[in-house]
Amino acid sequence: MMKYLFIRDTIFATIAAFLIIAAFKFIPLNLHIFDPVKAAFSDIQFNDLAFSKIKKEEKFDENIIIINVDTAKRKDIARLLTTVSNCNVSVIGMDVLFLDSSTSNMADRMLGNVMNSTPNLVVAEKLIWVKGKPLVQNYYVSEAHNTGYANFIGEEKGVIRSYSPFEKDSLVVHKSFTSAIMEMADINNYHALEKRDNEIELINYKRSTENYMVFDWLDVLDNKVDAALLKNKIVLLGYIDNTGFNIADKHYTPLNKDFIHKKVPDMDGVIIHANILSMIMANQFIHKMPNWLNFLLAVFLTYLHIAIFVNYYINNHKWLHVRFIDIVAIQFLLSIIFISVGISLLRLNYYFDFTLPLYAIMLSLYVLYFYEGFTNWIKKKYNFKTIFSHSNH
């Protein structure tokens, strides 16, 4: 094998493998449909497996308390805000989007006034892009002291794996809902997030609804929740589905227990925000391998594979045909090893996207056939020197 490690054909065949992958990327069709593995794992990243099966944290995060606003109207929410702010909480995060007025001017004003007199409140808003510039939509933009956009990143009905902590244009820096909360709750953690300077952050999901303390808004108003419990905590006011059927603010996440056939969205938006806050506070960010390193690793692994296959292609081609199924099985096994490595890395909060090396390795054997045909053609026409010839067969 060593003999073929440093020859020109191995280098060219590796380049060919990547060129073919690049060509597939530009075909405007979803060619994954012919891949049964992809079909079964539609909108699944192998790393989701790590989240759904391995990463679950059973402990409560006692720094965050969630109050379910359920069907509370604006005047009820105003009363709730007053009650909660009297409990000396650290920050109140209002994960309810008021995009326009309600049907009661009085209730609108009442809530606006309470927002205005609550300096440690962060109100969620909607971020939209207009001609490439970020704009926010929020009915209470002038009343609220602090605001943050509640948008996540993901396809429609797709899995939410990441969010954007900040969005900047030439004049303004828009903070995400969780970034704005963190700025008030713990400035050091906020600076740590800012220092990372990432356009997107992968969400380190560790907890579901059962791992946060959730109270009903009526219980809080009726003084059934001890005020001492809320003291110095981050209190999120949001919508939690108690029935299991209401999907008003529900999203698909990698914690979905039914991780292959994701059928019903599994997590309320406010719990996703809570997971982000837990991640920032525990400094458990997911470190993504840089794209260049990912690419170099993919090139290196593909190069090794091509060298092995060139060896068999030239010296024992019959074996290659006879043991074709075995070779595919070996490739599949290698893929599983890579996936396992990826999952192990994710446990250490390190994310390695092994899609590219996986595809390159899977393609490497087929590329050799294509490469042989092509080199034989240019050999005839331009006297190109290659170790491949039809006599190998």
Interface with another protein (CB under 8 A)? 28-30, 32-34, 36, 39-40, 42-43, 69, 74, 95-105, 108, 124, 126-127, 129, 132, 139, 150-158, 160-162, 164, 177, 199-200, 202, 238-239, 245-249, 251, 261, 263-264, 269-270, 272-273
CB-wise, 260 or 341, nearer to another protein?
Answer: 260
Question: 241-277 burial string, b = 16+ CB within 10 Å, else e?
Answer: beeeeeeebbbbbbbbeebeebeebbbbbbbbbbbbb
CA-based R_g, the chain, Å: 27
Burial environment of residue 330 by CB neighbours within 10 A (0 to 12, 13 to 18, 19 or more): middle
Question: 134-165 burial string, b = 16+ CB within 10 Å, else e?
Answer: bbbebbbeebbebbbbbbbebeeeebbbbbbb
Select from 18, 31, 22, 2 the least CA-distant residue to 371.
Answer: 18
CB-wise, 85 or 178, nearer to another protein?
Answer: 178
Q: How many other β-carbons are positioned within 10 Å of the β-carbon of residue 290?
A: 9
Least distance from another protein to the Cβ atom of residue 244, Å: 9
CB-wise, 153 or 297, nearer to another protein?
Answer: 153
Least distance from another protein to the Cβ atom of residue 264, Å: 5
Let me know the angle formed at the C-alpha of 198 by 192 and 200, rounded to the nearest 5 degrees.
120
3-state secondary structure 178-234: HHHHHHHHCHHHHHHHHHHCCCCEECCCCCCHHHCEEEEHHHHHCCCCCHHHHCCCE
Pairing state between β 133-137 and 121-130: antiparallel
* CB contact at 8 A, 285 and 196: yes
Least distance from another protein to the Cβ atom of residue 203, Å: 11
CB-wise, 14 or 178, nearer to another protein?
Answer: 178
Least distance from another protein to the Cβ atom of residue 295, Å: 14
CB-wise, 55 or 74, nearer to another protein?
Answer: 74
CB-wise, 106 or 187, nearer to another protein?
Answer: 106
Least distance from another protein to the Cβ atom of residue 279, Å: 14
CA distances from 210 to 12, 57, 61, 65 (A): 54, 11, 10, 12
Least distance from another protein to the Cβ atom of residue 250, Å: 9
Tokens of 142: 């002038």
Least distance from another protein to the Cβ atom of residue 269, Å: 3
Least distance from another protein to the Cβ atom of residue 101, Å: 5
Tokens of 371: 């490469």
CB-wise, 180 or 367, nearer to another protein?
Answer: 180
Select from 204, 200, 160, 271 the least CA-distant residue to 55.
Answer: 204
Least distance from another protein to the Cβ atom of residue 56, Å: 20
CB-wise, 162 or 208, nearer to another protein?
Answer: 162
What is d(CA 113, CA 17) in angstroms, rounded to the nearest whole number? 63
CB-wise, 140 or 190, nearer to another protein?
Answer: 140
